[in-house]
Amino acid sequence: MLKIFRIYFVLILAVCILLLPATAAHAKDYVFPSETAKTIVKDYHSKSNIDLVPNPLGKSDLIDVWYVALHDFGNGDIGVEGSTETGSKVEEVRVTVELQKKTNSSWVTVKKWSAEELYSDKAYYFNKITVDKGHYYRLKGTHYAENGSETETQTSYTDSYLID
């Protein structure tokens, strides 16, 4: 019996060792949002941080947490991140992240991304891109949740940030 156990153990160990390089090769290209960023500019909101005052009649209360974050990885590489979270599963939850560039005295949207989930409690987006250095950028987040006839929209903006 002990001999059979040893054989199974060696076989399982061999399979694990064979799969490890494939897993590591797949994971090496993925950049975790805060792993290598030299700076993160974030606009985070949570209803637990807001005074617990009842909503006015007719106002929805679906979204609990909403944020956008700009990650500066250096050399013009940035990460754009956004999230919308509800307290429970809803029919639709969405986050839209806009990269805005300061041009003269106004902000111009240069790129826009969205993540939408159905029958979920969270929509999350992250992408790494390269932008022109020497300009100020910020992120605008539009956060949306819908459940039946109830809808809620929140907006977030990071501070402006110089990519150098």
Domain extents for the chain?
Answer: 1-29, 39-163
pLDDT tens readout for residues 70-91? 999 999 999 999 999 998 999 9
Helices (H) and strands (E) in the chain, counts: 1, 7
* Mean predicted confidence (pLDDT) in 19-45: 58
pLDDT digits (tens, 9 = 90+) for 126-139: 999 999 999 999 99
Whose structure tokens read 């979270």? Answer: 85
Among candidate residues 95, 88, 70, 92, the one with its CA nearest the CA of residue 80:
70
- Taking alpha carbons only, the member of 43, 137, 41, 122 closest to residue 83 is 122
* pLDDT tier for residue 39 given thresholds of 50, 70 and 90: confident
The full DSSP string for 123-154 is EEEEEEEE--SSEEEEEEEEEEEEETTEEEEE
The predicted structure's pLDDT at residue 8: 54
Question: Whose CA is closest to 160, among 82, 101, 79, 96?
Answer: 101
Q: What distance in Å separates the CA atoms of residue 82 and residue 101, rounded to the nearest whole number?
A: 17
**What is the pLDDT at residue 36?**
78
Which pLDDT band, with edges at 50, 70 and 90, does 18 fall under?
A: very low
CB 79 within 8 A of CB 126: yes
CATH architecture of 39-163: Sandwich (2.60)
Give residue for tokens 């993160």. Answer: 40
- Look-up: residue for tokens 């199974």? 8
* One-letter amino acid for residue 53 of the chain: V
Predicted TM-score (pTM) of this structure: 0.74
What is the C-alpha to C-alpha distance for residues 132 and 41, in angstroms, rounded to an integer? 18
Average pLDDT along the chain: 82
